[in-house]
Chain A
Amino acid sequence: MAIEAQPRSKAEDFLRAVVAHDADGAIVVDQHGTVRFLNRAAEQLLNRHGAELKGQVFGFPLVVGERAEVEVLRPNGEFAVAEMRVLSIEWEGQDALLITLRDVTFERQAEAALREAEAFSIAILNSLTSEIVVLDEQGKIVAVNEAWLEFGRRHGVTDVSTIGVGADYFAICAAAEPGTGGPAVLQGLQAVLAGELNEFTYEYPVSTPEETRWFALRAVSLRSARKGLVVAHNDITQQRRAAQIAAEAEMLREQVRQMERELANVEAISRPDDMARSRLAPLRQRDAEHFQRALNRYGELLEAALASRVHRLPAPSRSLRELGEWLGSIWAAPRDLIDIHLQAMRDRSQDHTPKKLQAYFEEGRLLLLELMGHLASYYRSIAAGEVSFRE
């Protein structure tokens, strides 16, 4: 503002005219901070009359850099946020300061609302137990949730910035060791981004010295104006265990189906005339106490078989034959043996590592087949009249 180049009175008149019509609030204060002049916009901003303020101490304005932000107080207790700038001028022949106040309340409220919305989005992400990563169209991470960072920490990531906002997820996939599925995942993510796939899923194991856990990655397009991807990782170890148990059960059914056919013949021959055993209900239903007793004994033999495997000792075959014969004596059918076996597996599936569970499956399968064999032998003996049926 070239004030000094003009005669003082004209320069002041010019300045007064400019300031008076300025859309921003303008207050002229002397070196003590006392108000000498204020324009209409300043009156509106402060919601006070100029006459009330002239001669009152507004304060000596301090800014660091070009501007400072202040709250402007109104008589009704409300306040506005204003951006304050200060300029040294001459006013009525004395050194003075021109304070301009631009009302930025709306902008700050909008920014606060935006921050709140972002915080709300992050809170939603953090409330999810799935590990979530949001990527931009270049594959850069633009948002993650706490579960994702915790997942990284649990798996040895010491610097979370390497898996946090700003990290290059595509580059991480591309740099993954061969055989880890990194390139396949990268290809899948890019296909979703290009609109070739609606979603991409990939299951992968993560091993620690203690255990192996399975995760499912699911990537979908970000539903917003910005292009991007939402990648969710879910721990599916439990589901995989359940599927493994179901597959084991199915395989066992296949294996015993043949034995059942063989047993059916033996059973028919050995069956006393007064018993219509083929119409008997499953052991679990018709005799819960015997079922539980058989389950307990089977469990003991399973544990013993596992211990034998670990310590390389011979398996307790005699006890298994005794159990087979006892089951025969209470007219257990092959389906009852399968029922007992599967219950024993289910009882153990909750509290054991996948490795131990696998050992139970392998030992249990052998045990069950052997038990079936003992049951078949028992029925054959009855059929041949070597053993008499005992109730």
Chain B
Amino acid sequence: MSAPQNESIQSLYEGDQSKLYSGVLAHHSDVNSAESKAQVKRIWNIFWFLLVITIVEVVMGMKFSHLMPRGIANFLFLALTLVKAGYIVKVFMHLGDEFKGFIATVLIPLVLFVWFIIAFLADGSFWLHMNDDSPARHKTEQVAK
């Protein structure tokens, strides 16, 4: 925290709060500085990375996903999707540059999705199991008895 902020902290809290945000008050003046150029380069690097992942996904979806077991293909698709999402949030949305406490505040509620996905998909497949009138299911039931 730099000193000028503390000096007029009261007026800032009462006025435009966004000035409390250090990203604005930090010494960002020269857009042509080495630091600025490095950041722009990083943004483009991430763009190429995301593009390559998307191309891999599409090529897989078009040519290869039918040749491998469905489970493995889906696992790969989901893993690549999460990598993509992670980089968008971390770099493009600058979440990686925030305080750790803030990152946790944003990410922890998303843990709900773990329950959400498992519970609902399990319910869906159980419903299908209960309503499946094909001979195969009755055969398994009889074996179970």
Whether chains A and B associate is no
Which residues of A are interface residues toward B (Cβ below 8 A)?
A: none
Which B residues are within 8 Å of any A CB, using their own CB? none
